[in-house]
Amino acid sequence: METTKFLNVLLPLALPKLYTYRVPRDLSDEVSLGKRVVVQFGRNKVYSALITEIHTKAPKQYEAKYILSVLDEDPIVVPQQLKLWKWMSSYYMCTQGEIMNAAFPSGIKLASETKIQRNKDFNDATSILSDKEYLVYEALEIQETLSVSEVICILN
């Protein structure tokens, strides 16, 4: 029987600690250190968080929520960067989330307010799209823009 994986993730917020999320079995093979995952934080907020640690230890203080999806095929941050961010946060007396927020370009930051729209120059070669990509593409044919929450609902 496969053990349940948990992730410590870094959120792009001024939070004093990392948070632990649970990995659904169908995403277990996709997670790795330095990749971004979509997580729900609070009741209505959705963020992209960075995986800083993978382990099998459930948090004792709270019930870990499941990650919603994995955003990257390959890691976008290497362990040396994570070590640097940790050092910077202690040296400059700020949080690692603030460091990550400053380090990432705005194009790869995902938040609940992010809107998604279809690229008008896309040549409609839908045969190259995965099933999930095609579902989002079809939804964007009907509705011009979608929120991250709406895309998550479509995909789940």
Q: Which DSSP category does 29 fall into? A: T
* Domain membership flag for residue 131: yes
Burial of residue 34 (number of CB atoms within 10 Å: 0-12, 13-18, 19+): middle
* Domain membership flag for residue 56: yes
- Could you tell me the pLDDT band of residue 150, with boundaries at 50, 70 and 90? confident
Residue corresponding to tokens 């989002």: 136
Residue 34 is predicted with a pLDDT of 96
Residue 47 is predicted with a pLDDT of 87
* CA 29, chain centre distance (Å): 15
The mean predicted confidence, pLDDT, of the chain is: 88
The token pair that represents 82 in the structure block: 């994570």
Q: What is the mean pLDDT of residues 22-41?
A: 94
Residue 110 is predicted with a pLDDT of 66
Residue 91 is predicted with a pLDDT of 96
In which element (H, E) is residue 85 found? helix 79-91
Residue 45 is predicted with a pLDDT of 83
Residue 143 is predicted with a pLDDT of 85
* Same domain, yes or no: 84 and 130: no
* Domain membership flag for residue 71: yes
pLDDT by residue (tens digit) across 77-130?
A: 999 999 999 999 999 999 999 999 899 887 777 665 667 887 777 666 777 778
Residue 98 is predicted with a pLDDT of 94
Q: Domain boundary residue among 72, 90, 108? A: 108
* Domain membership flag for residue 120: yes
* Same domain, yes or no: 85 and 120: no
Q: What are phi and psi of 109, to 5 degrees?
A: -90, 135
* Same domain, yes or no: 42 and 104: yes
What range defines the domain where residue 131 resides? 115-155
Tally of domains in the chain: 2
Q: Report which residue type is found at 26.
A: D
* Same domain, yes or no: 66 and 129: no
Residue 50 and residue 100 in contact, taking contact as beta carbons nearer than 8 Å: yes
* Domain membership flag for residue 101: yes
Give whole-number Cα distances, 6 to 105, 134, 148, in Å. 27, 30, 23
* Domain membership flag for residue 1: no
CA distance 24 to 65: 10
Residue 93 is predicted with a pLDDT of 96
* Domain membership flag for residue 23: yes
CATH number of the CATH domain containing 42:
3.40.1440.60
